[in-house]
Amino acid sequence: MKAVVYHDKGDIRLEEVTDPTIDQPTDAIVRLTASAICGTDLHFVRGSFAGMEPGTILGHEGVGIVEQVGPLVRNFRPGDRVVIGSTIACGYCSYCRAGYFAQCDNANPHGKRSGTAFFGGPGPTGPWNGLQAEKARIPYAHIGMVKIPDSVTDDQAILVSDIFPTGYFGADLADIHEGSTVAVFGCGPVGQFVIASARLMGAGRIIAVDHHPDRLKMAQQQGAEVVNFDNEGPVQTIVEMTGGIGVDRAIDAVGVDAEHAHHHAAASDNLRTALDSAAHAVEPEVTDAGPHAYTPGDAPGQALDWAVQALAKAGTLSIIGVYPPTQREFPIGEAMNKNLTIKMGNCNHRKYIPHLLDLIASGVIDPLKVLTKTEPMGSVIAAYEAFDARRPGWLKVELKPGAD
């Protein structure tokens, strides 16, 4: 089968690999009909998250058809259409039973205290082969897969694999009530779903902070009040907008998923060559080469600083932006002296997926407004590059395995 395989920093290849097989009685084999590229994948490819092992299949978002189930998978049969949650969890340990699927005791082979396990990640997270492939082995399939209602399309369901649940998780952690005034820092795909989720939870006002005009436009279309930090100080503006009080709730949807003014330097010759030889299906224009913040290395916690400053006294901060375990900077003094509540973590995808599928099936929300590009697998390298360059319109990239 074909899969997107990590070889080295900046060197990923679409190549032929061996088909996966059932290894454990709780496994299933799924033939993928949709996958996607996530901002996190770019960190692995650039090397800003260390530890990727050569040979690992990338990707942690997937929708497909069950081909085969192990003897202990009793809730699925071949032919079922399923979405696969990004994080891997056993479904039977005390953490899974409490809904902390991202802190499962059993999914990470390095032990109970070794962190979140997920598809297509670095060695310390498993490594588990990912979902940018024609087929995948799904461990703990009884809990890792969720049946898709007939009325929900693949294009909708792929967004429930990772980014919609992550946005919903961010809003859930923020403890949003009817009438709450909420600020969302970062309006990428996850930030857009934080905004959508805050609306679902009854937020009174949602203030969206970013500097990409296309992202701010999308936030505004969702009903958010937008702040472009290229044009104005976001903290001062938010304080003015809220009568000098600040926001009740703030969500950091940025993390180190930050802008590289020099991201092209991160792509190696291999990736450049692969791109050059691929059809130039995307426009070459790059619009975000500005000198602004969110550059890992010199301002890794900019969004966190702004969030803490923009919060009202006794407000709540939710952190879902991804930070590496080595990150240590946080404005603890200011947060403490404002009596803030701080909640954070990796998304417990499986906790939210069934509910979000129900919301889509019932027409309460259509997540497709965030998905802007669909590419056949043959263009995957070019798609990675366009996504990495944050070209306008490349907010989220879905891949169609099996289509050339």
**Rule CB under 5 A: which residues touch Zn ion?**
89-90, 93, 96, 104
Amino acid at 324: P
Nearest distance from C-beta of residue 398 to Zn ion, angstroms:
29
Rounded to a whole number of angstroms, the minimum distance from the CB of residue 143 to Zn ion is 8
| Residue nearer to Zn ion on the CB measure, 12 or 143 | 143
How far apart, in Å, are the Cα atoms of 195 and each of 46, 165, 245, 305, 351? 28, 12, 21, 20, 19
The distance of closest approach from Cβ of residue 83 to Zn ion in the complex, given in angstroms and rounded to an integer, is 19
| 263 touches 389 (CB < 8 A) | yes
Which contiguous run of DSSP H or E holds residue 237? helix 234-241
Of 1 and 93, CB closest to Zn ion: 93
Other Cβ atoms within 10 Å of 279 Cβ, number: 9
Shortest gap between Cβ of 97 and Zn ion (angstroms)?
8
Query: Taking the alpha carbons of 301, 302, 307, 308 in that order, is the dihedral positive or negative?
Result: positive
Nearer to Zn ion, 89 or 395 (CB): 89
Q: How far is the CB of 349 from Zn ion (least distance, A)?
A: 13
Continuous H helices in 117-206: 141-144, 154-157, 163-173, 189-200
Least separation in angstroms between residue 352's CB and Zn ion is 16
Q: How far is the CB of 140 from Zn ion (least distance, A)?
A: 8
Tokens coding 145: 């897969």
Q: Which is nearer to Zn ion, 105 or 214 (CB)?
A: 105
Q: How far is it, in rounded angstroms, from Cα 383 to Cα 386?
A: 5
Q: Which is nearer to Zn ion, 90 or 207 (CB)?
A: 90
In whole angstroms, give the CA distance from residue 4 to residue 85.
Answer: 19
Q: Compare residues 48 and 87 and give the one whose CB is closer to Zn ion.
A: 87
Nearer to Zn ion by Cβ, of 96 and 219: the residue is: 96
List b or e across 340-373, with b for residues whose CB sees 16 or more CB atoms inside 10 angstroms: bebeeebbbbbbbbeebbebbeeeebebeebbbb
Give the residue at shortest CB distance from Zn ion. Answer: 104
